[in-house]
């Protein structure tokens, strides 16, 4: 289903655009009764992040890469005093109508990762991401080439590549994890939703990508999001809980009151419905997502 709505951009509200609300079956499924277990002590999956003291300086460099005859852009964020040794890579995808610099201006992931990771903001073609193409998806190919290119010159830990995104960027990281689980250790989607419109299906009729495997996933979504509704984010968590073999009826608390994680998963899955948040990213999102990624 497609929904026309206003959405927040770097300079405020942007003109009405088409926003995808891809929540296959989420309104029609009967929700199971969920048992919430309150844990004692710190969460093993999503502990509360503690920001270390002191300032960290970074270099932000716009760069380009040739992929299949097209020039693609990205913004590379590197700490000036990085932690020694191979480090994780976090890919951050903007929403429709946005750019790599717009999103970075509003949502600086390096404030969470500090010296411990490289952060990259890829730029979409015509300010958008391809959520529909299954074989030969140009943005999946771009991401693959981008990781390969970065690994040539930076000490990237290829086993710890993560992706996060906002709005259509949140949808895209779900699509990316669906089609290329080998690339990613985990994803975090904000105001997004699960993969949809695939040629295959899981036994419960959820969309399935060829060769799909479990990927750790965190879904964050505002309960006042009237562009991409809360059910879309909830279904993203339910989708990955199914793919990852989690219990459908058992979750536990975390270091954040807003978030729970499913129990019994092959790879962790978390859900964070944020009270009062509209179609934007939660102020704590980067810190919460980085805390989740660090446990994987």
What whole-number distance in Å separates Cα of residue 161 and Cα of residue 183? 7
Q: Report pTM.
A: 0.91
Hey, how many other C-beta atoms are within 10 angstroms of the C-beta on 295? 14
What whole-number distance in Å separates Cα of residue 95 and Cα of residue 21? 13
Q: How confident is the model at residue 27 (pLDDT cuts 50, 70, 90)?
A: very low
What whole-number distance in Å separates Cα of residue 86 and Cα of residue 40? 33
- Tell me if 122 sits within 8 A of 74, measured CB to CB: yes
Domains belonging to the chain, first-starting first, are 2-28+40-49+56-294 (3.40.50.1820)
What whole-number distance in Å separates Cα of residue 270 and Cα of residue 254? 9
Burial status of residue 145 (CB atoms within 10 A of its CB: 0-12, 13-18, 19 or more)? middle
What whole-number distance in Å separates Cα of residue 241 and Cα of residue 267? 9
**Pairing state between β 269-274 and 260-262:** antiparallel
- Tell me if 238 sits within 8 A of 204, measured CB to CB: no
Q: For residue range 44-88, list pLDDT tens digits in order.
A: 999 998 877 777 899 999 999 999 999 999 999 999 988 899 999
To 10 degrees, what angle do helices 138-153 and 168-179 make?
A: 80
Q: What is the DSSP letter of 214?
A: -
- Tell me if 163 sits within 8 A of 187, measured CB to CB: yes
Q: Which segment of 15-24, 70-79, 102-111 scores lowest on mean pLDDT?
A: 15-24
Q: For residue range 204-243, list pLDDT tens digits in order.
A: 999 999 999 999 999 999 999 999 999 999 999 999 999 9
Q: For residue range 250-293, list pLDDT tens digits in order.
A: 999 999 999 999 999 999 999 999 999 999 999 999 999 999 99
């Amino acid at each position: 289903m497609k929904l026309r709505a206003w959405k927040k951009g770097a300079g405020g509200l942007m003109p009405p655009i088409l926003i995808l609300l891809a929540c296959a079956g989420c309104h029609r499924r009967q929700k199971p009764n969920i048992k919430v277990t309150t844990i004692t002590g710190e969460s093993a999956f999503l502990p509360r992040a503690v920001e270390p003291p002191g300032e960290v300086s970074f270099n932000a460099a716009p760069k380009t890469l040739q992929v299949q005859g097209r020039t693609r852009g990205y913004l590379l964020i590197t700490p000036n005093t990085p932690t020694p040794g191979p480090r994780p890579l976090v890919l951050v995808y903007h929403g429709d109508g946005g750019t790599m610099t717009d999103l970075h201006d509003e949502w600086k992931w390096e404030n969470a990762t500090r010296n411990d990771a490289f952060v990259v903001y890829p730029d979409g073609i015509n300010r958008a991401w391809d959520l529909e193409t299954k074989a030969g998806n140009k943005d999946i190919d771009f991401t693959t080439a981008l990781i390969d290119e970065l690994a040539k010159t930076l000490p990237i830990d290829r086993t710890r590549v993560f992706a996060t995104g906002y709005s259509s960027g949140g949808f895209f990281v779900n699509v990316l994890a669906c089609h290329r689980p080998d690339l990613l250790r985990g994803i975090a989607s904000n105001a997004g939703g699960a993969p949809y419109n695939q040629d295959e299906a899981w036994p419960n009729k959820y969309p399935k990508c060829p060769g799909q495997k479990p990927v750790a996933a965190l879904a964050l979504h505002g309960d006042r999001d009237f562009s991409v509704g809360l059910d879309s984010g909830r279904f993203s968590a339910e989708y990955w809980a199914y793919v990852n073999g989690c219990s459908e009826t058992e979750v536990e608390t975390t270091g954040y009151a807003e978030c729970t994680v499913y129990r019994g998963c092959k790879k962790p899955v978390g859900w964070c419905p944020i009270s009062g948040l509209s179609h934007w990213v939660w102020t704590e999102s980067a810190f919460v997502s980085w805390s989740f990624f660090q446990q994987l």
